[in-house]
Structure 1
Amino acid sequence: MTQSIATIALVVKSYDEAIAFYHDTLGFDLAEDTPLDGDKRWVVMAPAGKSGARLLLARADGPIQEAAIGNQAGGRVMFFLETDDFAGDHARMLAKGVQFLEAPRQEPYGKVAVFVDLYGNKWDLIEPQR
């Protein structure tokens, strides 16, 4: 049997502002935007190159989900965006206004720097040690 984690839900305030951030700022592709019942949508973003898990942008529905926006991992890094061009991606992200919480650092597992998305969720930009 072969299994993989294909899609991860991320609770967001607004479909359109989240699409704009992930597409225009991080360079993700809009893989799917399908209307559902009412004003809900099935919105899936895929990293450039379309490898790895995709993000399902799930608009918050009610106060409990709204309270989780930006803190779904309790303040820890939640996502790991792997790249084969750390310096280039880091520079492009800085130019687009992405907020990095630290300078890039070299770890035994690779080059890494923590950044936040538009809601404050923490991400690692990482170029794994090969």
Structure 2
Amino acid sequence: MNVYRISILVTDLAKAKDFFVNVFGFEVIQDEMVTSEKRVIRVQPKNSNTPFHLVVPQNDEKHLIGQQGGNRALVILETEDVTSLEEKFKSHAVKIIKPLKTAPFGKVILVEDLVGNKWEFVERFNS
């Protein structure tokens, strides 16, 4: 079994694509108009096989934007250099929920994406 995609609700596809590519460092794996009214954008972290499908929700789902993980991190990503990411987040005015800290397992930072979902980035210590 393999994860085909995870949907992330956003308000604007172009702004979301820009954020995930230029701030989080993801790569675009699909960006195409599948009908005259439907654009499909999928992004994923580099060296990952888990794509995120950026979706503008229907009207009755708009209240879920930015709330997909509740008060918890929607996604936890492992990275090799969380300190550099912290600087990148600061330079892009990303909201930092929990600043970079050292935990027993490694370094960790919790941030919000452009619509308010929480993402945790972890740099694990070598064991």
Query: Is the pair's TM-score, using the shorter chain for normalization, greater than 0.5?
Result: yes
Q: Hey, what does 1:44 align to over in structure 2?
A: 42
| Superposed CA offset, 1:63-114 (max 9, x none) | 2x10100001222110112210111122122112211112212223321111
1:8 Cα deviation from its structure 2 partner: 0.8
- CA RMSD in angstroms comes to 1.6
State the TM-score, normalizing by the size of structure 2.
Answer: 0.88
Q: Any gaps of 5 or more consecutive residues in structure 1?
A: none
Structure 1's consecutive aligned runs of 4 or more residues displaced over 3 angstroms after TM superposition are none
How many residue pairs get matched?
Answer: 126
Of residues 32, 35, 42, the one that matches 1:34 is 32
User: In structure 1, what residue type is equivalent to 2:62?
Assistant: E
User: In structure 1, what residue type is equivalent to 2:76?
Assistant: F
Equivalence map 1:3-82=2 (5 Å) = 3-47=1-45, 49-63=46-60, 65-82=61-78
Percent identity, please: 26
Shift in alpha-carbon separation, 1:38–1:75, aligned structure 2, 3 A: farther
User: In structure 1, what residue type is equivalent to 2:20?
Assistant: Y
- Secondary structure at the residue paired with 1:76? coil
Q: Hey, what does 1:112 align to over in structure 2?
A: 108
Q: Hey, what does 1:103 align to over in structure 2?
A: 99
Give yes or no for the alignment of 1:85 onto 2:81: yes
State the TM-score, normalizing by the size of structure 1.
Answer: 0.87
Q: Which moved more, 1:26-35 or 1:117-126?
A: 26-35
Q: Any gaps of 5 or more consecutive residues in structure 2?
A: none
- Secondary structure at the residue paired with 1:16? helix
Q: What is the alpha-carbon distance in structure 2 between the residues aligned to residue 121 and residue 127 of structure 1?
A: 20
